[in-house]
Every structure is written in C-alpha cells, then in structure tokens.
Amino acid sequence: MKRREFLTKTGAAGVAGAAAASSLAAPAVAQKRTEMVVVSTWPRDFPGLGTGAQRLSQRISDMTDGRIKVEYFAASERVGAFDSFDEVASGNAQAYHAADYYWKGKHPGWAYFTAVPFGLSYTEINAWIRFGGGQQLWDELAGQFGLKCMMAGNTGCQMGGWFNKEITSADDLKGLKMRIPGLGGDVMAKLGASPVSLPGGQIYENLVSGAIDATEWVGPWNDSFMKFYEAAKYYYYPGFHEPGSMLAFGVNASWWGKLSKTDQLIIESAASAENDIMMAEYNAKSGSALASLIKDQGVKLRKFNDDVYDSFGDATEEVFEGVRAHSDLSKKIDDSFRKARKDLGAWSKISDQAYVAQRNRVLGV
Ligand code: CA
C-alpha cells in the first residue's frame, strides 16, 4: 500500500512524476504478490506432521522472499481437520497439508495416495508417484474434485498400534474399538473390529476414557508425545496398514492454473523438499524414541505373528475387491498400484531388504 501511495503521489506531481511512476510500475506487475491460505489436518506444532506442514508453508514464503504470502492454519484454527478438503476444493483456501486417505469417503482412490494395507514403502511410493504413473492417476482423481496434489512428506513405516491386551490371533481383534483410518480401518472391520477415524488431537481422550480400546497413530517418535502408553501398554509392529504414509499438499486447481510457471515450480520444489526432510526427521528420531518408551514408560513391544498377518492379508484382499468395484478409476489406480508393488517389491527384496538384513546380522544389530 505504501508503494501505491508513493506512486500516486509522484504521478500527481506532474509529467516528470508520471514518467517515473510508469517506469516503476512494470517491475511491480512482474513481482505480483499472491496470498495463499494453507489449512491442515494437524495440530499446531505437532512434531513431524504439523511442523513439516509449517516448514513447507514457511519455505514457500522464503523462496519467494514473501511475494507468495502464506498464511498457515493448523487443524481447527480456521476449519476442522477433516473440513480441509472442502475448504480448498471450494476455493476458500488455496491449499491443504493432509493425508489424502482421510478423503476415502469421497472416493476410495484417495487411500492409495497416502498408504494402503500391504502397500508401498517410502522409497517405493516415491518411485510409483514419480516414475510409475502414480502422479498421473493422482492428477486424474484430484481433478475430479478441483484439486492438484503433490507429495509433501512421509512418515515412513508406521507401527501396528497400541493395544490394552496381547493380540495372538485374529480372534483377539473381534469387538475391538480401534482408531484406524483409511482402508486399514476397513480391513479391521472385516476381522470383526469396530474402526473409527479420529483426528490426532482427539485420540488420547478417547483411549483414556475407554471410548476406544486401541489406536494406531504413527510411530515411536510421534506416539511418545501422545502418551498412549498410559492406557495401552502393548505396542505392536510392523503396521500392515501404513508402510510409508505419504502426506499431500493439495492445491485448489483453478488457483493453481492461474499461477506463473515459476510459482508452480517453487511450490512443487518446496513440497518435494519437505517430502525428503520429513522422512529424514522421522528416521532420525524414531529409534531413540522407541528405546525410551520401552525403558522409561514400560511399554511392551510385540510383533504381530504370521497367523495374524495372514489374516490381515486375506481381509485386505477382500477390501481391495470392494475398492476395485467402486469405479473405473478405482480399478485403474489399483491396477497401477499392484503392478508397481510387484516390480518394486521384487527389487526391494534383493537390494535394500537383503543388504540391511546382512549388515544387521554381521553387526549384531
Ligand atoms: Ca497412522
């Protein structure tokens, strides 16, 4: 505004002033400021998810020296966590940072763009999105809702969850009220549990009050802040339901289409950087957090046995049948995902997986 007042005043000063104003006006147009409201599904300052979304917003601002002015709202600061989608699709806000599987009620295809049961690891989903046709399918799905989505973080492989009793067979899951969103929740329902989808900020109170018996959230680093161990001591691994949960930056497509190529690239680059940084932070902090949970909080670490895992596998296939029957697009996404999972799984087996197993064996890790 000050700049505009200055231009108006100099313009009113006479012919010489008007010439000065027009010479200043050209760069002012090229440097057009853009307002960008970002909403998210995470509590403010929540480690990893919230801080990652905030870091991404700040990075866009910093990369443009404030020319893209990002105003960030954590969950419930502008709209509720699960209202983020509609806020952006409607154009009330320009972008959300979220887990796209929260929108599976709108279309089951969304689940594939966070994580699905027996799905892809961090490195695998990056390969599928960037080089396996995943981004094109994500664009097709998001386009139906007026959105453009991109990768913007990852938690890595998640833990199986917190239980107040041991799970030694699929029968132990029957009647269990568990917070588990996405298709993982549908798998639990097939096994007789009652899944609920609660935003992060509401899980603890429901677990402590007994409204739910079990919950999954993320992994040791995030979960330690949630204090779930106060109500559920058994901490199971590995989670079948979220092997590499990818977070999304979902942008209003109409707004996106009006941005310059430069601004689109800046936003994409910032999101891509966060996709990398968030994963590094989760990996760096999870091991020590797990050790502390066991040593300081008396958490009992347990591994799902093969029988329980086989039950997860059978129920997962039933869930996928339902997803494929939903629409042509769901089937197309599932076909692409399955092809990627087969190719990438075979390669992971003789590369990362084989190497880490041998390294840890030799070193006794
Ligand atoms: Ca989770």
**CA pair distance 92, 199, nearest whole angstrom:** 21
> Which residue in this structure is represented by tokens 């298709």?
183
Q: Ligand 1 mean position to 215 CA, how many Å? A: 9
Q: Ligand 1 mean position to 210 CA, how many Å? A: 20
Question: For the whole model, what pTM was predicted?
Answer: 0.88
Burial of 55 (0-12, 13-18, 19+ CB in 10 A): middle
Q: Ligand 1 mean position to 13 CA, how many Å? A: 63
> Is residue 210 classed as helix, strand or coil in its secondary structure?
coil
**CA pair distance 191, 311, nearest whole angstrom:** 8
Q: Ligand 1 mean position to 223 CA, how many Å? A: 10
Domains of the chain by start residue, with CATH: 33-154+244-283 (3.40.190.170)
- Per-residue pLDDT of the chain (365 residues), as tens digits, is 344 443 343 333 444 444 444 455 544 445 689 999 999 999 999 999 999 999 999 999 999 999 999 999 999 999 999 999 999 999 999 999 999 999 999 999 999 999 999 999 999 999 999 999 999 999 999 999 999 999 999 999 999 999 999 999 999 999 999 999 889 999 999 999 999 988 888 999 999 999 999 999 999 999 999 999 999 999 999 999 999 999 999 999 999 999 999 999 999 999 999 999 999 999 999 999 999 999 999 999 999 999 999 999 999 999 999 999 999 999 999 999 999 999 999 999 999 999 999 999 999 99
**The pair of three-digit structure tokens given for residue 73, joined into one six-digit string:** 């709202």
**CA pair distance 167, 236, nearest whole angstrom:** 9
Q: Ligand 1 mean position to 15 CA, how many Å? A: 65
Q: Ligand 1 mean position to 240 CA, how many Å? A: 10
Dihedral of alpha carbons 105, 107, 111, 114, sign: negative
